[in-house]
Amino acid sequence: MDIATSVGINVVSDSTVLELVDVRKSFLGRAVLEGLSLSLASGECIALLGPNGAGKSTTISLALGLSETDSGRVELLGLSLPGSGHMARQEVGVVPQYDALDPDFTVFENLLVFGRYFGLHGAKLRARAEELLNFAQLQSRRTDSVATLSGGMRRRLMLARALINKPKVLFLDEPTTGLDPQAKHVIWDRLVDLKKQGVALFLTTHYMDEAQRLADRVAILDHGNIVVCDKPSALIKDVVGYAVLELWGAGADACVASIQQANPMPVEQRGANYYFKNHCADIVFTGLKESNPMGVDFIYRPGNLEDVFFSLTGRALRDD
């Protein structure tokens, strides 16, 4: 029995749990979402990627019925939002971008207090909190103040707390930002378990490895709309191709100038790094292996979501 089964997550049939259709939203006359449409099925993870300020948190807020669209339709678990938002949210979990744990309470009390918001109480609530303590691997910290927890433990507790009501849909707004690689992997393993049990995950992230690891589909948001939405591997194949030659270091500018002089070819520049793709990557890789008089650093590698993101938006995933 895996951990999600042990915490009694609802298993629901393959069906649409969230639908946004032609959604528009402006703030102070500035359009943030301009006709966004997307859907999410149970047991599926969709990762919404976008530059800072693209509208990811706004999309989550609308999808939860916490704010109102200017136009368009939002349905969560078959209920129309924002009108039926309160009812829909009874079966939804949210892991917000920033920790919202209560510093005056212990680890276990944080779970109990949150459960009461969903009408849980007594032995049933205590049993559920115990399951989640186990899920978050925080049994040994049960009576500790949350202020004493590490960043990874706090995020695990936030995730456990969001599951108190056995949600069918879980919204995760940058769930692992600031965590070390090991702490991230623990959270990812938990999320994969939840997905297997039929929980739908709506994820926003700046981490390409997180999207690649968890998402069945990646949606890239730019200028108020979804530019592409597909499997990570399909996006990489279609937008980038099979290979990238990345080149950087002290002599990079001069090296690229000399390559271009001898054999002009498309090259992408991101900061101090240069990127050749596919056939051009092969040519430059072969050339640099034979002769690299400027001593530049280079790597020949498969394409990744960061390359997809840059090709489509002209920006890096993180610009802060």
Footprint of ligand ATP (CB under 6 A): 27-28, 32, 50, 52-58
Q: Report, in Å, the least distance between residue 141 CB and ligand ATP.
A: 29
Considering only the C-alpha atoms of the chain, give the largest distance between any 2 of them, rounded to a whole number of Å. 77
Pick 32 or 191: Cβ nearer ligand ATP: 32
Contact assessment for residue 138 and residue 156, using Cβ atoms and an 8 Å cutoff: yes
Pick 29 or 271: Cβ nearer ligand ATP: 29
**CA gap 320, 317 in Å, rounded:** 9
Q: Report, in Å, the least distance between residue 29 CB and ligand ATP.
A: 10
Q: Report, in Å, the least distance between residue 34 CB and ligand ATP.
A: 12
The letter for the amino acid at 109 is: E
Q: Report, in Å, the least distance between residue 198 CB and ligand ATP.
A: 27
CA 74 from chain center: how many Å? 20
**CA gap 70, 185 in Å, rounded:** 38
Q: Report, in Å, the least distance between residue 67 CB and ligand ATP.
A: 8
**CA gap 125, 118 in Å, rounded:** 10
219: nearest Cα among 32, 55, 27? 55
Give backbone dihedrals phi and psi of 221, rounded to 5 degrees, phi first.
Answer: -100, 125
Q: Report, in Å, the least distance between residue 295 CB and ligand ATP.
A: 37
CA 216 from chain center: how many Å? 11
> Is 52 exposed, middle or buried, given 0-12, 13-18 or 19+ CB atoms closer than 10 A?
exposed
The letter for the amino acid at 139 is: Q
Pick 36 or 159: Cβ nearer ligand ATP: 36
Q: Report, in Å, the least distance between residue 252 CB and ligand ATP.
A: 29
Pick 32 or 194: Cβ nearer ligand ATP: 32
**CA gap 245, 203 in Å, rounded:** 30
Pick 64 or 136: Cβ nearer ligand ATP: 64
Per DSSP bridges, beta strands 217-222 and 45-49 are: parallel
Q: Report, in Å, the least distance between residue 25 CB and ligand ATP.
A: 8
Q: Report, in Å, the least distance between residue 304 CB and ligand ATP.
A: 20
**CA gap 81, 220 in Å, rounded:** 23
The letter for the amino acid at 49 is: L
Pick 110 or 313: Cβ nearer ligand ATP: 313
* Eight-state DSSP code of residue 10: P
Pick 58 or 69: Cβ nearer ligand ATP: 58
**CA gap 21, 35 in Å, rounded:** 7
Pick 27 or 242: Cβ nearer ligand ATP: 27
Pick 27 or 117: Cβ nearer ligand ATP: 27
96: nearest Cα among 192, 240, 203? 203
